Amino acid sequence: MVTAAPALLEVRGLGIRYGDKVALQGVDLQVRPNEIFGLIGPANAGKTSFLRAINRMDEFVPNMRVEGEVRFAGHDVQHITNLYALRRRIGVVFPLPVGLPLSIYDNVALAPRLRGMRSRADLDAIVERCLRRAALWDEVKDRLQNLGSLLSGGQQQRLTIARALSQEPALLLLDEFSIAVDPVTTMRIEEVLKELRQELTIVLVTNLVQQARRLADRTAFFLGGRCVEIAETESLFSGGAKDQRTIDYLEGRFG
């Protein structure tokens, strides 16, 4: 008998408040190892707040309060005291590319250096590998000392992915990565994500329902701060949605 691998991420009764405002309530879900897990839903559904709770970004938001339990690799993230170690294992790519005021090379080499790596040969290998995995190497290999902030928007977004990968994360969180990226670059990044599925787990927040259909193994629909429905993606998009609100959203009746 084959036993399913334990969940890499398990959420139980997750609730999030910003002062008196409820952003999420009663969310229960699991994310399996080496899957792309999609989150869809209209604005203010709680999707970004969900990502913040996973990576303990509530530390940066004074009035954000997290209730319930978020377990990553078997550990409750709220009880993890070494946040640098947690965030090294959970990479984040935000909607708009955030190029650090460093060279392309130093953007990618930053995390390895912070964990003590000093060998130039080792750093060179990591920079090339991460830029290749982010489908950026061929475009920048001859100008690695140029400022990353001078790259195009699509290139900066791929640089952000390369920088996240340099942390060697087990989980990668992507929040609307294609907002500031042209359609051609979006498709290139999607191909990268499909390949990365072999090495790590991805949680993908997207407002493009067809992007979720192309990429996600399973998809959750969030609405009004609740997780309405979770299903295998192709089933969800092929008539298998059980909640009328999910059906209405997928058919473009709101959102």
Q: Among residues of the chain, what percentage have pLDDT more than 70?
A: 97
Residue 96: band (very low, low, confident or very high) from pLDDT cuts 50, 70, 90? confident
CATH of 33-52+92-250, picked from 1.10.287.130, 3.40.50.300, 2.170.130.10, 3.40.50.150, is: 3.40.50.300
Identify which of 193, 202, 131, 128 has the alpha carbon closest to the alpha carbon of residue 162: 131
What is the distance between the alpha carbons of residues 105 and 89, in angstroms, rounded to a whole number? 21
Nearest 5°: the CA angle 34, 173, 233 is 55
- pLDDT at site 254: 79
Q: Please, what is the average pLDDT of the chain?
A: 92
Q: What is the pLDDT of residue 50?
A: 96
Report the DSSP beta bridge partners of residue 39.
205, 220
Closest CA to 228 of 210, 254, 202: 254
Domain ranges of the chain: 33-52+92-250
Task: Tell me the per-residue pLDDT of 158-177, one tens digit each, with 9 for 90 and over.
Answer: 999 999 999 999 999 999 98
| Residue range 72-92, pLDDT digits in tens | 999 999 999 888 889 889 999
Spatial neighbors of 188 by CB under 8 A, at least 6 apart, are 135, 154, 158
Give the confidence band of 97 by pLDDT, cuts at 50, 70, 90.
confident
Note the pLDDT tens digit of each residue in 26-61.
999 999 999 999 999 999 999 999 999 999 988 888
**Residue 36, token pair as written in the block:** 């792309």
**pLDDT tens-digit map of 117-151:** 999 999 999 999 999 999 899 999 999 999 999 99
Report the DSSP pairing between strands 75-76 and 90-93: unpaired
